[in-house]
């Protein structure tokens, strides 16, 4: 592992990790810190998460990343079918933006990556071939497994229930751009 710094926004399922990531991305941008990567936005019907849509951090285009609906040409993993085009879009974003932004957002990293699926290859590249600072969303109950599996040295865990957006911002920015911390 190179000199990466990995920040993990943790929380339970549907705790607001993606919303917090989006709010942080705007806050970083407003303070002159470049952010890249992507969000995976969940959608619900009748109290069941039916699908996720993939969105580049600064893009408007939404693409279905995965769905509970059966798609024979998609990759089935558990109860979801993953859209190979959206997965490839995510991989392209991660590899093309590596080193070109101050902070790379990856929403979300989970058990599929520990099975060497979805974002696994891109994460291995980022961790082993770059010095990229990254902000990952990870379900709280998976965080220890993710840290161990990817051999993340000195991860910074930021729990959505314990820290507000401003506190998370200051915790991250003190490492990557200390002169941009909130003082007011």
CATH classification code of 5-39+84-176: 3.40.50.300
Q: What is the pLDDT along the chain (184 residues), one digit of tens a residue?
A: 445 789 999 998 888 899 999 999 999 999 999 999 999 988 889 988 899 998 999 887 789 999 999 999 998 888 999 999 999 999 999 999 998 999 999 999 998 999 999 999 999 999 999 989 999 999 999 999 999 999 999 999 999 999 999 999 999 988 887 555 554 4
pLDDT of residue 3: 58
- For residue 81, what are the β-bridge partners? 67, 76
CA distance 135 to 112: 18
Nearest to 52 by CA among 121, 107, 119, 115: 107
Full-model pTM: 0.90
Model pLDDT, residue 179:
55
Residue 181: asked if its preceding bond is cis (omega within 30°), the reply is no
| Extents of the domains making up the chain | 5-39+84-176
Contacts of 163 (CB under 8 A, 6+ apart): 171
Q: In sequence order, which residues have a C-beta less than 8 Å from that of residue 133 and are 6 or more positions away?
A: 4, 5, 6, 7, 102, 103, 104, 175, 176
Kindly give the pairing relationship between strand 133-139 and strand 103-107: parallel
State how beta strands 75-77 and 5-11 pair: unpaired
pLDDT for residue 1? 45
């Amino acid at each position: 592992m190179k000199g990466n710094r990995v920040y993990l926004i943790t929380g339970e399922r549907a705790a607001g990790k993606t919303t917090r990531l989006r709010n942080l991305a705007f806050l970083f941008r407003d303070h002159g810190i470049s952010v890249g990567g992507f969000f995976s936005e969940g959608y619900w019907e009748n109290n069941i998460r039916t699908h996720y849509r993939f969105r580049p951090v600064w893009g408007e285009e939404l693409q279905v990343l995965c769905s509970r609906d059966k798609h024979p040409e998609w990759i089935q993993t558990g109860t979801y079918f993953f859209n190979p085009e959206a997965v490839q879009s995510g991989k392209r974003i991660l590899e093309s933006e590596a080193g070109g932004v101050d902070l790379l957002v990856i929403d979300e990293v989970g058990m599929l990556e520990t099975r060497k699926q979805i974002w696994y290859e891109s994460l291995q590249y980022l961790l082993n071939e770059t010095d990229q600072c990254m902000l990952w969303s990870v379900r709280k109950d998976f965080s220890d497994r993710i840290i161990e599996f990817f051999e993340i040295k000195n991860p910074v865990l930021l729990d959505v229930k314990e820290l507000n957006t401003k506190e998370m911002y200051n915790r991250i920015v003190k490492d990557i751009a200390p002169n941009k911390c909130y003082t007011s």
